[in-house]
Structure 1
């Protein structure tokens, strides 16, 4: 099945050249016939067929709901789908009560006419940036060299792979420390982390409410903008302003984000910067001591995500269910037991100070430009075999992206090339909370330039 964007499919559906029912059947057959059966945890074939049939009737009757009508969508395994238990990538929730209604954003996209084809795999309870799952298997990164199994990135692992493999044009995930932008970079797709609170979190299984945000993994920035509009209940029209690269101003951080970066990462990043400079974009480089302060704060008081995950899962990880969980998730969550209330409160207060200090250093129209990750997707098996390597790689993988979660940014990861083995590389455009249209429009301009 060819990998197609929302925009490409929408043109075919709206013109009548493609029938929504045929597209749904093609999608379901592609999922069933795919060599990697770890990508989807649940396929909602009955629901998909009913929604596709409804879309067919609307389109044939001239009552289209807009750009997204009839487009298939998959959901990370922590969004409520009516009638199904929400398992959040964990075996211990398999027998939990079925959801009584869809999550609010599921309802919003269904209302826009999208066809829900199922749920996709993830790191257990969303608590890893690598995407490894011992219960449902670990999806293979489609860019893996022949005979290798490279990791997909997490925690929205199945979402990244489902889009990269062409099984669906879009999958909705969450991002607490990089869980959209990491799989986007590793799999060579677009990942948009919206400002925290931009969409309703009703019916979404949390990890850390002070950090959790939502967004799509898809093939283009325009697709991400259409999904963004629909998730807010707005028409999925041409909502982005058109930026010329000469209209853009970027600052490149000299703190943290290049530390230990692979040569291919730096080379692809600098080549992209050179494209921007030639196109007239304004670029400056600057140190941001706030970035270092974040990691100093975590070393002193513990991480916000760990504190909040421990409170959420305390009964689970200190009881009999722990034996049926990924031991790495249990071990990492248990670190929250050492974080005191004063540690937590001091971290929240320091966070607001660091956000204010960072935003004061940034120009009113500037965006932050950085490598999404310092490395390409590593091989799976060494990480499974060596727990110390797992935690070391997890920390390195989350490092660049978690800065944006802590400082409450929005951001888009875009593909910007590959290394010599054909493994994707990502570039990250970010800016302060609330500037989502700016970050999407600038990313769209960059995407056009790179293409």
Structure 2
């Protein structure tokens, strides 16, 4: 699959039509998706929409970079008229009544939405194995997981089905599968992209972000989907940013921070070697490498798995089977609630609802939830201080490469540990990007860059330089 930039140029120069591009994507999906399970549904109108873009182009209309480009959508982002299930039996058959803001903006830009991608149920998981539609497989080795929760979107790009897919990132759900599948995955600053029309997992942590083949492509998509939205009070009015084509990929004099808490004994040796090689490339190009400290990072995973389940409990309280979604009739109202939620939700979702209910209960609120919020504030302060000394913070994205399907499925603690490098960016509400960084044990490794809030431009600049190396 070519990049968005390359495809856009071909469409503009009329050496390729959008219809041809969409048909080639659909053909590849038809041939390979059954084995990978990246897509759970394909739009029947994609070809007609592509024809319409071609007609407009032939008529001389000035179209944007994304016009005619096929894009996949994670199954928790609303597209009007499409079924939306968030990978769960609980919402099976539920139809989206409206477009998410990101979808509205992509449609206005002429992008062709090609289908829904598989995901961990309600975005709870790190392997895309908890979906009602079955596990998604890694295209680099089909016996391995693709990461999660946005595994379907990561695979859709990595397998060459589409040049871009949307995911959501609450604790690493874009960056970690991007790392395991060898593509670019961006989690924007909290508030940069509207969450309106995203089925919420943990509302104070969720952000929508793109999977692409290059950092420039991620910047091109962000130009379209970011910005203030009156339907999302947490979205921010943005100052104008440099167009992706004008960004100078350069790291001379750049201060790169390596958090000592992230580079510890026990890290996989091959994975560590790839990160060390990347650091040497930065050094050789004139970047200043500096050790920084994030002293409260050691509490991040514990804080995350208190804050997130607490918000999950609240958000999923609306799914009772009476208003929409799965319904199981009991002998009375309480039985109906219990049966519906007991049958409709999978084990991981139930686990997190129970965890959240426990930490929010009267006897434990102060001991757990309140304390986790305090830790979250300290983590943000740590990042604020560190990012005064450096321009970006560099870490691995994941502590391991892709593991065997089923290997961690029944071991939630081990599964949760796969988010150890990613949850801090969500807790601190800062931008972070995963960029391919070679291979270890024959599988992709991801390099994570974190930056100051709303300074995605710095991540683009550094990331574009790194991928050229």
Q: Compared with structure 1, are the counterparts of its residues 213 and 315 closer, same or farther at alpha carbon in structure 2 (3 Å cutoff)?
A: closer
CA displacement, residues 304-343 of structure 1 (integer Å, 9 cap, x when unaligned): 1111111222465972232233212312331111113434
Write the distance in 1 (CA, Å) between the matches of 2:131 and 2:379. 37
User: In 2, are the aligned partners of 1:407 and 1:432 still within 8 Å (CA)?
Assistant: no
Partner residue in 2 for 1:210: 204
- Tell me by how many angstroms 1:296 deviates: 5.9
Q: Compared with structure 1, are the counterparts of its residues 336 and 252 closer, same or farther at alpha carbon in structure 2 (3 Å cutoff)?
A: same
Partner residue in 2 for 1:79: 77
After TM superposition, the structure 1 = structure 2 runs for residues 102-251 of structure 1, keeping only pairs within 5 Å, are 102-144=99-141, 148-232=142-226, 237-238=243-244, 241-251=247-257
Secondary structure of the residue that 1:58 maps to in structure 2?
Answer: helix
After TM superposition, the structure 1 = structure 2 runs for residues 370-381 of structure 1, keeping only pairs within 5 Å, are 370-381=395-406
- Tell me by how many angstroms 1:63 deviates: 1.1
Counterpart pick for 1:291 among 274, 288, 297:
297
User: In 2, are the aligned partners of 1:130 and 1:397 still within 8 Å (CA)?
Assistant: no
Write the distance in 1 (CA, Å) between the matches of 2:263 and 2:200. 27
Q: Compared with structure 1, are the counterparts of its residues 257 and 110 closer, same or farther at alpha carbon in structure 2 (3 Å cutoff)?
A: farther
After TM superposition, the structure 1 = structure 2 runs for residues 394-409 of structure 1, keeping only pairs within 5 Å, are 394-409=415-430
Q: Does 1:393 align with 2:392?
A: no
Partner residue in 2 for 1:32: 30
CA displacement, residues 6-65 of structure 1 (integer Å, 9 cap, x when unaligned): 11211111110001111111112221221426211111122x122201210122122132
CA displacement, residues 186-207 of structure 1 (integer Å, 9 cap, x when unaligned): 0000001101111111111010
Secondary structure of the residue that 1:378 maps to in structure 2?
Answer: coil
User: In 1, are the aligned partners of 2:300 and 2:423 still within 8 Å (CA)?
Assistant: no
* Equivalences, count: 434
Partner residue in 2 for 1:447: 467
Q: Mark the runs of 5 or more structure 2 residues left unpaired by the alignment.
A: 228-239, 321-336
Q: Compared with structure 1, are the counterparts of its residues 4 and 322 closer, same or farther at alpha carbon in structure 2 (3 Å cutoff)?
A: farther
Please identify, of 57-66 and 67-76, the stretch whose mean Cα deviation from structure 2 is larger: 57-66
Please identify, of 7-16 and 316-325, the stretch whose mean Cα deviation from structure 2 is larger: 316-325
Please identify, of 76-85 and 320-329, the stretch whose mean Cα deviation from structure 2 is larger: 320-329
- Tell me by how many angstroms 1:270 deviates: 0.3
User: In 2, are the aligned partners of 1:104 and 1:201 still within 8 Å (CA)?
Assistant: yes
Partner residue in 1 for 2:338: 319
User: In 1, are the aligned partners of 2:118 and 2:131 still within 8 Å (CA)?
Assistant: no
- Tell me by how many angstroms 1:365 deviates: 5.1
* Aligned alpha-carbon RMSD (Å): 2.1
Q: Does 1:329 align with 2:327?
A: no
Normalized against structure 1, the TM-score is what? 0.91
User: In 1, are the aligned partners of 2:167 and 2:174 still within 8 Å (CA)?
Assistant: yes
